[in-house]
Structure 1
Amino acid sequence: MTATVFLVVSVFLACVVEAVEALTIVLAVGTTRGWRSTLQGMAAGLALLAVIVATLGPALTVIPLQALRLVVGALLLIFGLGWLRKAILRASGFKALHDEAAIYARRIGEARDAERTGGRLVSDGYAFTLAFKGVLLEGLEVAFIVVTFGANQGSIPLAVLGAVLAVMVVTVTGILVRAPLARVPENTMKFAVGIMLTSFGIFWAAEGAGVAWPGGDVALLGVLGYVVIIAVGAVGVLRSVHRRYEPAGSTGSRSVAGD
């Protein structure tokens, strides 16, 4: 039960983060270049993602559970530590915070300057391509999380549900406000997702290697607490180092748009 709850929450948060970034691209291109080609590109990206999930999901279920957990755990550690590393550097001031409003303004400028080329089916190739790439690239990481989490827990539909809910929330909100969701605490959410992915990676990789966790899935809470302590401690140490060596009068990198 504990792992199932964390599965849905992790997939939901990860998908919200990526959906917000994809929404920024789609909004910038759509409002600047027109919506027909933009929506066509977005639909094509979503369709390809659906095919990837539908293809990889059943393929993973034929792998023995212990081997699956070892492989999935190792891969999640790679993804999770990557997210967590960036989140720690942002929180400590060594890396610029992700600024969706600044990214949106940059995308608007790029879209206005690009040439308009197209054909009969797609009137604006630039808008189609950018929307397609934005949705696909931002969604691939989430697709991987959905497939691996779902296959490992034996509940791909549950993982897909968390992803669909996140996409619906972000899409509806974006349609209502018609602006990038700059107020979404994206940096905090990336920190949380990094912690969750890392915790799941440790837990499942250890299980796949033959470790019997005391208390079963409840031990995941202990792993989660351990990762939180290490991550928060790393932020504290790096923040003090950053303040010590930051040039006088410098504002650091905290207000600059980051990826």
Structure 2
Amino acid sequence: MAIDWVHAWPTALAAFLASIVEFVEALTIVLAVGATRGWQNALAGAAGALAVLLAIVLLFGPLLTRIPLRDVQLVVGGLLLLFGMRWLRKAILRSAGVIALHDEDEAYGKQAAALGTGGGGRLRWDAVAVTTAFKITMLEGLEVVFIVVAVGAGGAGLLVPASLGALGALIVVVALGVALHRPLSMVPENTLKFTVGVLLSAFGAFWVGEGIGLDWPGGDWAVAALTAGFLGLSVLAVPTCRRRAAALRPLPNL
């Protein structure tokens, strides 16, 4: 089936950006496992998790085609909206300085220190290392699978572009990880989460509207208007949250 990229590219982009965030977090821990307990164990655990995730996509992706499209759009759109709003809330609070930014270097150091105490670096087969790499890849990968399935459920033929977007993100992150052998701390993670939160919220709102039979002005182009709306409100929310946090902060003792 030919893919209409005029309408499919926003789906692929949303899946790509969201997947990069999750893959970077997984790569940080996998690199720590490889550096401290052996690359064979780290790669075995990560590869096992990716195989399980691929099986989940192949199993549940086609099942969506058997459900009426409006039902899928309403349920998945609602979940996607909640998912995007959760990311967007955290990104706004981080941008406002209310909660700390996520530091991949710090996460790498903590995981490396924890694994380094296990004394399993010389073992050819290290169950702790394999399990750690498997669990983090599985945890972050499940979120990627959810995003791919949810974004791909928005219309006929969108599952393939969403999957290609996630696959592209995986290739980019793995290539950078192989080249750099360190956490991708240069990736502006909070900016990515801010952007992805806006996109997922816009897609979710659009598909909820489709699911309840709303006739969006402009058809699929309404996604662009929703994206602009969520982005504008989110940008305005950052200084508001910053002022609110400053007002609630206790005064220093004089």
Normalization by structure 2: what TM-score?
Answer: 0.92
Instruction: Tell me which of 152, 155, 159 is aligned to 2:154.
Output: 152
- Find the counterpart in structure 1 of residue 186 from structure 2: 183
**Partner residue in 1 for 2:45:** 41
Q: Give the AA of the match of 1:78.
A: L
Residue in 1 that maps onto 2:78: 74
Q: Are 1:226 and 2:229 counterparts? A: yes
One-letter identity of the residue aligned with 1:109: A
What is the distance in 2 between the residues matched to 1:112 and 1:12? 33
Taking the aligned partners of 1:232 and 1:242, their CA distance within structure 2 comes to 16
**TM-aligned CA distance change 1:182 to 1:68, over 3 Å:** same
Aligned length: 247
Q: Which amino acid aligns with 2:47?
A: A
Cα distance in 2 for residues equivalent to 1:33 and 1:213: 54
Residue-by-residue CA offset, 1:202-245 (whole Å, 9 max, x unaligned): 10001100100011011111111111111111112001222344
Equivalent residue, structure 2, for 1:55: 59
Question: 1:83, 1:194 within 8 Å by CA — same for their partners in 2?
Answer: yes
Whichever residue aligns with residue 219 of structure 1, its letter is: A
Matched, 1:208 2:211: yes
| Percent identity (aligned) | 47
| Paired residue secondary structure (1:153) | coil
CA distance in 2, matches of 1:130, 1:175: 19
| Inter-partner Cα distance in structure 2 for 1:69 and 1:2 | 20
Distance 1:2 1:247, change over 3 A: farther
1:64 equivalenced with 2:85 (yes/no): no
Distance of aligned partners of 1:185 and 1:117 in 2 relative to their CA distance in 1, 3 Å threshold: closer
Deviates more, 1:145-154 or 1:180-189: 145-154
Moved over 4 A (4+): none
> 1:70·1:204 contact (CA, 8 Å) conserved in 2?
yes
Considering only aligned residues, what root-mean-square deviation do their CA atoms show, in Å?
Answer: 1.8
Structure 1 spans left out of the alignment, 5+ residues: 250-259
Q: TM-score, normalised by structure 1?
A: 0.90
Residue 174 of structure 1 aligns with which residue?
177
Paired position in structure 1 for 2:22: 18
Deviation of 1:118 after TM superposition, in Å, equals 11
- Does the C-alpha gap of structure 1 residues 100 and 50 become closer, same or farther in structure 2, counting only changes over 3 Å? same
